[in-house]
Amino acid sequence: MRNPCNAPILAKAFKTPKQVLRRILDRETVEEVIYNTKNLRDRLRVELQAQCGLRIGESLKIKISDASDRKLTLRAPKSGMESEMAFMPEQIAKRVHDYIQQKAFSLDDRLFPICYSTARAVIKKIGRRLNLVLTPHDLRRYSATYASRKGMRLEIVPKVILRHQDLKTTQAYLGRVSEGEAICWMDILHGR
């Protein structure tokens, strides 16, 4: 007996989507992107996305009252929760606090008072200046891959960097491991 689900018409209608291989930026490229961002506001936003794993929308919703020491409270995040915490490296936290003091914001002001399309356009413009096709999500993807390749445990990346509920979602962000990297990791794990 023949399986009716193997019909060509059904196979065509229910094709498995091809997985898109996303380009993962390397550290030098991200540092060049940050260095070439001349406007302080935009540079801080790019750093938060590349080093803290913030989504572009999350970075634009941050209010001054949400920045405390090395933590950022993210209001109404994509997860649907009321709020989430993002953490900053010390040098970025210092620059954020210096920026807040320099601009003399009130507590209810947004840290980055620009719209979503402007924020995207700034990143694309920086990419064009460097002959790159660059999107805001490339910076978030870099953040996760960099953390993973520096030895951060895979269970920590979705909780601390990306704030994903499911590990499978995080795995889609991480770049493929090259043969050279695989050999390097085997040497690290088991010695030469």
Per-residue model confidence (pLDDT) at position 123: 93
CA 73 to chain centre: 16
Q: Which of 172, 100, 178 is nearest to 137 (CA)?
A: 172
Q: Look at 164 and 82; give whichever has higher pLDDT.
A: 82
pLDDT in tens, 113-152: 999 999 999 999 999 999 999 998 889 888 888 887 787 8
Q: What is the pTM of this model?
A: 0.76
User: Can you tell me the mean pLDDT for 38-65?
Assistant: 92
pLDDT in tens, 144-153: 888 877 878 7
Domains and CATH numbers, the chain: 23-190 (1.10.443.10)
> Is the per-residue pLDDT at 189 higher than 70?
no
The whole-angstrom separation of Cα 127 and Cα 47 is 15
